[in-house]
Amino acid sequence: MNAIANVRKRLGVTQAELASALKVTQGNVWFYERGQTVRPQVAARLIRYARQRGLALTFDEIYAEHLEEHGPNDAASAGDGCPSDWGPSGPGSRELVQ
């Protein structure tokens, strides 16, 4: 199961409810659950939302599939893993912000 779908199920919310909390469309959530990369700003909102509902969540958990696919030496992992290290295209980007 995709990381976003797994988190949503653990939170016990629908795609529509999660979309509202993340300030995205239900269609966005649908795409995230099928592998589209979650933008860092949305991931941060998801972490805050999960925390408010009692679920501890990290960026590593959200991007686990990306890390498995690209490995730890990908540009997204070159820094400390924070969104500020990622290029404008998010963790899938090969650009590292200097």
Q: What is the DSSP string of 66-92?
A: HHHHH-TTSGGGSSSS-GGGBBTTBTT
Average pLDDT for residues 48-71, to the nearest whole number?
85
Where are the domains positioned within the chain? 3-85
pLDDT attached to residue 1 = 77
User: Which carries the bigger pLDDT value, residue 55 or residue 64?
Assistant: 55
Distance of alpha carbon 36 from alpha carbon 90, whole angstroms? 11
Average confidence score pLDDT of the chain: 79
Distance of alpha carbon 47 from alpha carbon 95, whole angstroms? 24
4 closest CA partner among 30, 41, 27: 30
Domain range 3-85, its CATH number among 1.10.3470, 1.10.8, 2.60.120, 1.10.260:
1.10.260
Global pTM value: 0.68
